[in-house]
Amino acid sequence: MAVYTQVSAEALADFLTAYDVGDLVAAKGIAEGVSNSNYLVETTRGRFILTLYEARTRAEDLPWFVALMRHLADAGLPVARPVAARDGGALRRLCGRDACLIEFLPGVSLSTPTEAQAAAVAAAMAVMHRAGEGFAPPRANELGQAAWRGMAEAMGPRLETISPGLRARVMAEVTALEAAWPHALPGGVIHADLFPDNVLMLGGRVTGLIDFYFACNDLRAYDLAVMETAWAFDAADRFLPGHAAALRAGYGGLNDAELAAMPVLARGACLRFLLSRAQDWLDTPASALVTRKDPLSYLRRLEHYAS
Amino acid sequence: MAVYTQVSAEALADFLTAYDVGDLVAAKGIAEGVSNSNYLVETTRGRFILTLYEARTRAEDLPWFVALMRHLADAGLPVARPVAARDGGALRRLCGRDACLIEFLPGVSLSTPTEAQAAAVAAAMAVMHRAGEGFAPPRANELGQAAWRGMAEAMGPRLETISPGLRARVMAEVTALEAAWPHALPGGVIHADLFPDNVLMLGGRVTGLIDFYFACNDLRAYDLAVMETAWAFDAADRFLPGHAAALRAGYGGLNDAELAAMPVLARGACLRFLLSRAQDWLDTPASALVTRKDPLSYLRRLEHYAS
């Protein structure tokens, strides 16, 4: 939620000459996403989001993300379309970073979505999953179930500095999920991070699915489980059964095996965000102005499913 | 350059119902200004900047700033106009902060303005000074010459942690300027912080003078001196005589006493920013993501005038 790379107006105006988008009218660094720098750019032809990819997004993955966003936009999904430069490419360099100019989408991210809004987003996710069927090549989920033991072991005893007993709790969950993970469920392209702040809405309408930089191939029902852990709990980490039911109803079409696996998948989703937030917590000084998301929020959500 | 106060879309939509500006379409937290939180807000009727005033801007001063911005906008200056709510007021509360919805202005802030651009902004400053003649009541400059000794003494030996010898250098300058300050020059309402990042331009045209939260009554030529210390040095703190000449030519109409006093006024401007940056430097942990502006940059600019 910060602008890590400062782009001067002069450098931005020069950058835009590579595109057929008119002349620069306004540009504001915006607090959007977690790990990249973003600018809201207005030209004489329209508005765009300019993303500069910081270290955490791997350069070799960018063409896949760009192709996926374009594929989903072409399929009619409310996904921001990367803008092609005059040379046809959508990825360029700016201020020493890989950069992409992306269509601006209206809408706001909700902090306390209603059940109906949750259902609408889950329905959009189902459409996205179907649209992803034609997309290749696959991309492995680097933060998927196979990665969790390694993430946990790399932090090791430092987990105890977040909360006493956390290391043993995490390792037990890693082991339990290794045994219980439902590998045979239907897979496909998933968003893998469809939290409320990655969705734009106007009232009950989904106007944007954004931030595809964790998208990958994995179990489809796991994508819905990630949503459930993010949309079906309140700020005090209390489960909201009405929201969870609305998500499943909105998504629709889960088969019996997927329905039966949902609690295990949700435990996995909680563990994944617990682990990545623990990494960020341990890597970010407490005095930094970037808000560290509390890993223990996801431990509390995990206990809802594990108990 | 951060969003200190997070405003949810739900709270923002509710806030906007107090205005006749239509419905919320988009909102992005933006990295603008130094000490307040800002959002770029789009509604069905237009675009606005929403400012939430953080601790550093004193609540009792806000009505004066709002009235000044409106006065200057009414006079035809490219100054963002505060939007009146349905009840006629321009200041409301949001998320525990005083808040103001302000007209959006096009344009970008330049990092390396040309001489012609500097002249255009100085000309706009001259128009602003004339437009300010009809504005009352006056507001004292809390960071003006009378304040510098107190600012320096409050930091005392801590100045040495920034650079050895800085304390003695600063105290000598405080004393020298107390003796040399040209109190009798023409005064009026000044911006007092018209750095390039507080000006919006489209090519050679000034489209916005922004961030009036240091505006006050003080010597008019001091306002131009502040500009000179900000616009007439390059990033390596080398003086740009062509830019300085362009500023004076663009401003026009300085009398002989003002022209003679410019070096002293510029030393004062350098000292003022050296002191406030030193305060920020000492108050901001090095690990914070907010960029601390280097106080020594203004020591180097000061030495240009003092040597």
Distance CA B77, CA B194 (A): 14
Residue A25 near chain B (CB below 8 Å): yes
Distance of residue A96 Cα from the nearest chain B Cα, in angstroms: 17
Q: Inter-chain contact B9–A108, Cβ cutoff 8 Å? A: yes
Return the CATH number of the domain spanning residue range B115-306. Answer: 3.90.1200.10
Distances from the Cα of A54 to the Cα of A34, A276, B239, angstroms:
10, 17, 34
Closest to A232 in 3D by CA, of A249, A245, A220 = A245
Task: List chain A residues with CB under 8 Å of B2.
Answer: 2, 31, 289
Q: Are B294 and B166 in contact (CB under 8 A)?
A: no
- What pLDDT is attached to residue B214? 96
Name which residue leads in pLDDT, B298 or B289. B298
Superfamily of domain A9-103: Phosphorylase Kinase; domain 1 (3.30.200.20)
pLDDT at residue A267 greater than cutoff 70: yes
Segment B99-113, tens digit of pLDDT: 999 999 999 999 999
Test mutation, A5, A289, A292, chain B, max B CBs within 10 A: A289
- What pLDDT is attached to residue B284? 75
The residue behind tokens 């450098």 is: A11
Residue B17 near chain A (CB below 8 Å): no
Test mutation, B114, B289, B290, B293, chain A, max A CBs within 10 A: B289
Q: Which amino acid is at B173?
A: E
Average pLDDT over every residue of A232-236: 96
Q: How far is CA B142 from the centre of its chain?
A: 13
Segment B225-272, tens digit of pLDDT: 999 999 999 999 999 999 999 999 999 999 999 999 999 999 999 999
Nearest chain B residue (CA) to A113: B10
- List the domain boundaries for chain B: 9-103, 115-306
Q: Inter-chain contact A25–B107, Cβ cutoff 8 Å? A: yes
Nearest chain B residue (CA) to A25: B107
Task: List chain A residues with CB under 8 Å of B3.
Answer: 1, 31
Segment B112-127, tens digit of pLDDT: 999 999 999 999 999 9
Residue B259 near chain A (CB below 8 Å): no
Q: Inter-chain contact B30–A26, Cβ cutoff 8 Å? A: no
Distance CA A90, CA A81 (A): 10
Average pLDDT over every residue of A233-241: 97
Nearest Cβ partner for A31 among B3, B13, B42? B3
DSSP A81: P
DSSP A21: S
Q: Which residues of A136-157 are buried (b: 16+ CB within 10 A; e: fewer)?
A: eeebebebbbeebbebbeebee
Distance CA A222, CA A188 (A): 10
Residue A31 near chain B (CB below 8 Å): yes
Q: Determine the 3-state secondary structure of A145 from DSSP.
A: helix
Contacting B residues, span 103-122, partner chain A, CB-CB under 8 Å: 106-112
Q: Determine the 3-state secondary structure of A69 from DSSP.
A: helix
Q: Out of A12-21, B14-23, B52-61, B86-95, which region has the weakest mean confidence (pLDDT)?
A: B52-61
- What pLDDT is attached to residue B291? 62
Beta-ladder partners of A100: A51
Residue B12 near chain A (CB below 8 Å): yes
Residue A182 in tokens = 């439902």
Task: List chain A residues with CB under 8 Å of B80.
Answer: none
Residue B25 near chain A (CB below 8 Å): yes
pLDDT at residue A1 greater than cutoff 60: no
DSSP result, B218-274: EEHHHHHHHHHHHHSB-TT--B-HHHHHHHHHHH----HHHHHHHHHHHHHHHHHHH
The residue behind tokens 């601790």 is: B55
Residue A95 near chain B (CB below 8 Å): no
Query: What does pLDDT average to over chain B?
Result: 94
Segment A76-120, tens digit of pLDDT: 999 999 999 999 999 999 999 999 999 999 999 999 999 999 999
CA angle B24, B26, B30 (to 5 degrees): 125
Task: List chain A residues with CB under 8 Å of B11.
Answer: 111
Chains A–B, number of C-beta pairs less than 8 Å apart = 92
DSSP run (H or E) holding B208: strand B205-209
Nearest chain B residue (CA) to A205: B25
Write down the ipTM of this complex: 0.86
Nearest Cβ partner for A287 among B2, B27, B287? B287
Average pLDDT over every residue of B194-204: 96
Exposure of A60 by Cβ count < 10 A (0-12 exposed, 13-18 middle, 19+ buried)? exposed
DSSP A39: E
Task: List chain B residues with CB under 8 Å of A285.
Answer: 287
- What pLDDT is attached to residue A243? 98
CA gyration radius, chain A: 20
Query: What does pLDDT average to over chain A?
Result: 94
CA angle B164, B169, B171 (to 5 degrees): 120
Distance CA B2, CA B243 (A): 31
Same fold, B9-103 and B115-306: no
Report the half-sphere exposure of A249 (CA within 13 A, side-chain side): 12
Q: How far is CA A42 from the centre of its chain?
A: 25
pLDDT at residue A242 greater than cutoff 70: yes
Task: List chain A residues with CB under 8 Å of B26.
Answer: 106-108, 200
Residue B29 near chain A (CB below 8 Å): yes
Residue A59 near chain B (CB below 8 Å): no
pLDDT at residue A255 greater than cutoff 90: yes
Residue A24 in tokens = 């620069």
Distance of residue A4 Cα from the nearest chain B Cα, in angstroms: 8
Residue A34 near chain B (CB below 8 Å): no
Residue A177 in tokens = 């999920």
Task: List chain A residues with CB under 8 Å of B109.
Answer: 9
Relative orientation angle of helices A62-74 and A115-131, to the nearest 10 degrees: 110
The residue behind tokens 């889960």 is: A254
- What pLDDT is attached to residue A268? 98
DSSP B80: P
Q: Inter-chain contact A9–B288, Cβ cutoff 8 Å? A: no
Q: Are A206 and A120 in contact (CB under 8 A)?
A: yes
Distance of residue A124 Cα from the nearest chain B Cα, in angstroms: 20
The residue behind tokens 């004292």 is: B140
